Amino acid sequence: MSIVSKLFKGAAVLSAATMLAACTGGGGGSTSTYGAYYSPTASVSQFVSALNSIEGYNADGSYVELYTDETIRSTYAGEDDWFVIYDDKYNEYKAVSLQYIRSIVYYDYYSNATSLAREFRSIERDDINFGDINGDFWGDDYEVVDYDYWTNTFIGRNSGFQYEDEAATTDVSLMTAELEQKEFIKKAANVSFAFNVGIETSMSLVTLGKKAEELVKKSGGELTTADELALTNDLQKLTGVSLAEVMAAANDQAAQDDLVGKIADKIGTSASNLENKILPELFGLQLQ
């Protein structure tokens, strides 16, 4: 059996995943199984940056600018975690509930701000097409606002609420969650730079490392068959090839080369980088 085949076998999966966990040092994230996700620890800056990122591909060059962070919408508990942005896409100011964006459900392989931003834009388009051009009907989740120079506040077009600047948040659990999310993004960025892969791929790698680390701790150092299968399935989704494809290429060098090229294309790198850097340095595997 070739070393490529071992990538999807239990022993190699354990070695690869634990080495990855050591490389990334653990950290936040979720599994890499495709399905419904949300971003319960998303920060304002991450959401705004993700909106900027997806709008950057539009021909009109739209951008989103954070105007006010942590605004007070009302005196009622739970209604004060809002922020205001200037949205060049629609040439208007918007107030957005932090709790709302953290509850938005989207479909992907892991929890991430980019998919969150895309889903927000999709919801926004649906609202506009339905006739709610100023946000959701009552302005409970997000709404267009206008600046009032007399009061130095933003006024919601749907709700009529005033949005006033708040100096800083004192929610310790909120700050802790945001720090954990920032640490996850930092690790993903380091992997992206070190191994020359896209940020989404590096997020999946860091997530896989964290998952493996937790499974190893839970099992006392030796993975169960179920654990190995779960990690194998995650690796298959990450690489875009099935175990059957790997096994079929076990004794065929040309097929192995094709397989390496296919995996490289899936994770967004070159076959040379995959074979000479990612596999040996990140997974501890050498192709023969």
pLDDT in tens, 2-28: 444 445 444 344 444 444 444 444 333
Region of 27 please: left (phi>0), alpha (psi -120 to 50) or beta: left
* Model pLDDT, residue 49: 84
Length of the chain: 288
- Rounded CA gap, 218 and 211, in Å? 11
pLDDT of 128 > 80? The answer is yes
Q: Which helix (H) or strand (E) segment is 12 a member of?
A: helix 10-24
- Rounded CA gap, 201 and 286, in Å? 21
Confidence at 277, pLDDT banded by 50, 70, 90: confident
Cβ-based neighbour number of residue 56 at 10 Å: 10
What dihedral angle (degrees, nearest 10) is formed by the CA atoms of 43, 47, 49, 55? 180
Contact of 2 with 251, CB cutoff 8 Å: yes
* Model pLDDT, residue 283: 65
Instruction: Please state, rounded to an integer, the average pLDDT across all residues of the chain.
Output: 73
* Model pLDDT, residue 59: 44
* Model pLDDT, residue 43: 83
* Model pLDDT, residue 143: 94
What's the half-sphere exposure (Cβ side, CA atoms, 13 Å) at 52? 11
Of 194 and 31, the one with more pLDDT: 194
Of 221 and 247, the one with more pLDDT: 247
Average pLDDT in the 146-170 region? 78
Percentage of residues in the chain with pLDDT exceeding 70? 68
Q: Beta partners for 175?
A: none
Q: Beta partners for 87?
A: 64, 92
Of 119 and 53, the one with more pLDDT: 119
Of 58 and 158, the one with more pLDDT: 158
